[in-house]
């Protein structure tokens, strides 16, 4: 199975500052037939289910603010929040779906 590891486990950032979360898979998640990265990001606020933010590593889901962006390819990926807002406090999960489906352990984002 593909193992997905996120870093850091948690971080505290001041409002308006940039947030960077990393996600690393043990194998490439690029599907050769379409050259797409089978990686998604979800946001989970306290007491709520996860919500899809990004898919194909860098495609923003409809309605997601453009301060959220995804990048990377192969085995290394990044979720960036360009300017942290209070409503962005949450746990962020990455998930690969190139081979079954596995999630990272999650990254908790708090306000400093």
Partner 1 sequence: EVQLVESGGGLIQPGGSLRLSCAASDFSVSNNYMSWVRQAPGKGLEWVSVIYAGGSTYYADSVKGRFTIYRDNSKNTVYLQMNSLRVQDTAVYYCARDARDSSGSLWHFDLWGRGTLVTVSS
Of 52 and 67, which has the nearer Cβ to partner 1? 52
95 binds partner 1 (CB under 8 A): yes
List all residues 6 or more positions away from 34 whose beta carbon is below 8 Å from its beta carbon.
none
**Structure-token match 């984002």, residue found:** 109
Rounded-to-integer distance, Cα 85 and Cα 15, Å = 6
68 binds partner 1 (CB under 8 A): no
CB 48 → partner 1: shortest distance, Å? 8
CB 34 → partner 1: shortest distance, Å? 11
52 binds partner 1 (CB under 8 A): yes
**Do residues 49 and 42 make contact, with C-beta atoms less than 8 angstroms apart?**
no
Taking residues 75 to 94 in sequence order and writing x for each that binds partner 1 by CB under 8 A, - otherwise, the string is: ------------------x-
Options 16, 46, 49, 63; binder of partner 1; rule CB under 8 A: 49
């Amino acid at each position: 199975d593909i193992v997905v590891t996120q870093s850091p486990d948690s971080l505290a950032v001041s409002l308006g500052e940039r947030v960077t979360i990393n996600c690393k898979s043990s194998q490439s998640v690029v599907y050769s037939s379409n050259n797409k990265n089978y990686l998604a990001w979800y946001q989970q606020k306290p007491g709520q289910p996860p919500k899809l933010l990004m898919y194909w590593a860098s495609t923003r889901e409809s309605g997601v603010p453009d301060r959220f962006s995804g990048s990377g390819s192969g085995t290394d990926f990044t979720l960036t929040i360009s300017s942290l807002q209070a409503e962005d406090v949450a746990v962020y999960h990455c998930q690969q779906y190139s081979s079954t489906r596995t999630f990272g352990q999650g990254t908790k984002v708090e306000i400093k």
